[in-house]
Amino acid sequence: MRIQLNANPTELTTGATDALLGILALGCLWYLSHYRQIDRWKVGIWTWVLGLLTAAAILGAVVHGLALSDAMTRFLWRPLFLLLALLVALFVVAAVYDLAGLSGARRALATMIPLAVLFFGMTQLASGTFLVFVVYEALAMLLALGIYVSLAVRRRMRGADLMAVAILLNIVAAGIQATGSIGFALVWQFDHNGVFHLVQSVAVIVLMLGLRTSLLTAAYPDRST
């Protein structure tokens, strides 16, 4: 079967920005692995988050960037929604780990994974599948934002302020995507989905800066990072 690119120019740029996001997440995953000896559990959970983001972004690049049948597109959205649901769940678990340690994170894991599966099931049954996911993601991101704002205000974790900024950027990106009306032209035409991926890419970079700061502070508490 011959592989063809999507003829829609905005879908093509959306696929390209999704691929860019996936490559960035994969690079961050590799970079984060160098800090595993500092905190194996923390690095492990964030590795899962970045791995799921990589897989979701690459799959999204295929869905948007290639000329697929409607049936194939609908089929591929199923694993894509599952990857995103698990990603959001583990993001919350990672935030709870920074707030409450390993015991709290394990309790959160036992709650969030079934919740992610539940929301995935709802996307398969509900007519407004994307709206269901947006609500789920918004609630989870607001919870994670509250955790990192609290950690930053109480100065309990270096890098928490950057983590909060990253989450804010992600929320802004989701808002852009939900509006469906924001776009721009810069050599190529970018619609709201393409802008969403670009803002998310910036959020991932800021997130990594926050993670790096928190891990280095844990390893070298007396050294400025």
Other CB atoms closer than 10 Å to residue 4's CB: what's the count? Answer: 9
Q: Is residue 131 part of a domain?
A: yes
| DSSP string computed for 22-62 | HHHHHHHHHHHGGGTTT-HHHHHHHHHHHHHHHHHHHHHHH
pTM (2 d.p.)? 0.93
CA-CA distance, 115 to 107, in Å (whole number)? 13
Closest alpha carbon to 197 in 224, 177, 182, 180:
177
How far apart CA 60 and CA 3 sit, in angstroms, is: 16
Q: Would residue 222 count as lying in a domain?
A: no
Q: Tell me, yes or no, whether 63 lies in a domain.
A: yes
**For the chain, percent of residues with pLDDT exceeding 90:** 69
The whole-chain average pLDDT of the chain stands at 91
Strand partners of residue 66: 5
Q: How many domains does the chain have?
A: 1
With respect to residue 3, please indicate whether it lies within any of the assigned structural domains. no
The model's pLDDT over 61-85, given as tens digits with 9 standing for 90+, comes to 999 999 999 999 889 988 998 999 9
Is residue 172 included in any domain, yes or no?
Answer: yes
Q: Domain span at residue 178? A: 9-215
Highest mean pLDDT: which range of 128-132, 143-147, 181-185, 186-190: 143-147
User: Span 29-36, mean pLDDT?
Assistant: 95
Residue 127 has a pLDDT of 58
Whether residue 225 is contained in a domain is answered as no
CA distances from 116 to 6, 16, 67, 92, 166 (A): 31, 27, 30, 11, 22
